[in-house]
A and B are shown apart, each in its own frame.
Chain A
Amino acid sequence: MPELDLDTKVKLAIYEITAETGRVPNSADVARKIDPPTRRYGATRVDEEEVLGAFGRLHTKRLLLPEPGDPRRIRMAPPFSGVPTSFPVEGNGKQYYANCVWDAYGIGAALHCDAISRAKDAHTGEPLTLEVKDGAPILKSYVAHFAVPAAHWWDNLIFT
């Protein structure tokens, strides 16, 4: 198998760490994952600055959104959120946060596991549960509202 390019290694590391821990990693976490110091006798072959460069390219490809004002942190690695949101998702015995209602289902789809999101009606605050079991949603009559047209989703992804 050919050596993976850095951007692919970074992408995989982001998602592997997130899946394993429930926490979206920062650039230092990703550098350690790709090239553990113990393997390099204390040195790090892939340094954090290179990882930051990959973060920028993955942002251009719309695979992640850096934290505004702090490019070492990731705000979104869709469907995962780097910060707590109104869409917590339990799956594989861990808790994750999704960016929106679409991503609340997206975490179960990405991890291929049963998942439950204890969300709320965005207007009334009434608890509403989204559940995925055995690869399918437990359907209810709830609805999702998309306030922003598809052409503008990346104008302000945090609001979308």
Chain B
Amino acid sequence: MLLFRSGETVNEWCAAHNIPRRPLINLEQLWQLAVRWYANRLTIESRRPVPDEMVTIFASLGLTGPFWDPKADQWK
């Protein structure tokens, strides 16, 4: 997950590395993801969100669709 000044430099990077362009998110969305994922990480009860929780978190930030669906993830 990399940082870019703009969508233009993302396009140039994708072309240079022959990698398809994927969704972009802005810094407000990124901060909200960080808070939802990590705000309690140093506490006793902390854990990684499970797939259904991930879907809810992503959807609350407008991130929907197959790219943001972790259901195929091998969860144990």
Which residues of A are in contact with B by a Cβ distance under 8 Å?
A: 4, 8, 11-12, 15-16, 19, 60-63, 78-79, 87, 100-112, 119-124, 126, 128, 130, 132, 136-137, 139-154, 160
Contact = CB atoms under 8 A, between A and B. Distances in A.
B73 interface: yes
20 contacts: A4-B44, A11-B46, A15-B42, A78-B41, A101-B2, A102-B37, A109-B34, A109-B37, A110-B42, A123-B13, A124-B9, A137-B31, A142-B4, A144-B3, A144-B26, A145-B14, A145-B23, A146-B23, A149-B68, A154-B73
A47 B7 CA distance: 50
B70 A121 contact: no
B64 to A, nearest CB: 11
A100 B1 CA distance: 5
Interface centre among A8, A15, A110 (most CB of B within 10 A): A110
Contacts of A152: 72-73
Contacts of B42: 12, 15-16, 19, 110-111
A157 to B, nearest CB: 11
A111 B25 CA distance: 23
B7 to A, nearest CB: 6
Closest 6 CB pairs of A and B: A105-B34, A123-B13, A122-B2, A100-B1, A151-B72, A106-B38
B52 to A, nearest CB: 12
B33 to A, nearest CB: 6
Given A139-B28, A146-B23, A160 B1 contact: yes
A128 B33 CA distance: 19
